[in-house]
Amino acid sequence: MSLSLFLQTLKASELDYTPSEITRQKVSGKILTTLIAPTAVGKSTLINRVIELAGPDFSESYSVVTRPRRPTDPAMYKTSDEGYTIERVGRMIEAQELTHYTVHPSGQIYGSLPDSFPARYNLLPCVPSILNVVQRVGFFAVYPIYIVTSVHDWAERLPERRADPSYRARLSEAIESLTWAIAHSDELLFVENISGQLDNAATIIKEVTRGRTITIDTAVHGTTLAKAMLAYAKQELATTVSPNLVL
């Protein structure tokens, strides 16, 4: 869909956005781990498990989204159902009240406020394009982690998303994300989310978030998995017909 002129303007400015000094001060004592991954790799499942293992010092980061509330949204999400319309969130962006934001191709704004990070340690699903913005917000520390999995495991999870009208867009985003991860492999910690071994990945994320150094070199194995996933995503995109397409 085409974006309105207002959203186009916000989109053009999102990577240069800087929160106000008051906004920055509110998160200056917080630690943030960003989980970056393609669709259906298990970011939300991992976040939930890390919090279960780590306790009340850890929390999911609760988004501000301008779309209607979904049944799966956590209660602390702020959506258009609670009055967070595009117009209102746009004004908050202009006032520099958000920590960061992005305009999704669907025409919705996704972002966060200082109270989106309620704990000492916070976990945020993130896309590569806004990582640099998040790192400039003023958190005490930001730890980026890229989540990968085997093509076998991914191929079992992805079909659940094929009925979603945005499936092809999600695949395109996955291709962009994996391409970015491969290009930045020397700078990233890769964590493999293996089916049936969720606690292994969750424990690594918990330890990294607490500031403990992981001495294992993950770049080679992580890049190998990312390359295989990239090839699979390209194949899936080439062979998948949009559910909205009338033949």
Write down the residue that tokens 């959203």 correspond to. Answer: 7
pLDDT of residue 72: 87
* CA dihedral angle for residue 223, residue 224, residue 227, residue 229, rounded to 10 degrees: -110
pTM above 0.85, yes or no: yes
The answer, yes or no, to whether residue 93 has pLDDT greater than 70, is yes
Q: How far is CA 172 from the centre of its chain?
A: 15
Find the angle CA(156)-CA(74)-CA(168) to the nearest 5 degrees: 40
pLDDT of residue 1: 58
178: which residues sit within 8 A by CB, 6+ positions away?
38, 226, 227, 229, 230, 233
Residue 100, CB half-sphere, CA atoms under 13 Å: how many? 22
Average pLDDT, the chain: 93
Per-residue pLDDT, 245: 41
Residue 236 has pLDDT above 50, yes or no: yes
Can you give the residue ranges of every domain in the chain? 5-239
pLDDT score of 242:
60
What CATH number labels 5-239?
3.40.50.300
* DSSP string covering 122-166: EEEEE-HHHHHHHHTS--SEEEEEEEE--HHHHHHHGGGGTTSTT
Q: Are 174 and 37 in contact (CB under 8 A)?
A: no
Look at residue 216 in the predicted model and tell me its pLDDT: 76
pLDDT exceeds cutoff 80 at 246? no
Beta bridge partners of 100: 112
Each residue's pLDDT tens digit, 148-194: 999 999 999 998 888 888 899 899 999 999 999 999 999 999 999 99
Residue 106 has pLDDT above 70, yes or no: yes
Query: What is the pLDDT confidence band of residue 247, given thresholds at 50, 70 and 90?
Result: very low
pLDDT, tens digit (0-9, with 9 covering 90-100), for 22-68: 999 999 999 999 999 999 999 999 999 999 999 999 999 999 999 99
Report pLDDT for 60. Answer: 96
How many helices, marked H, and strands, marked E, lie in the chain?
9, 8
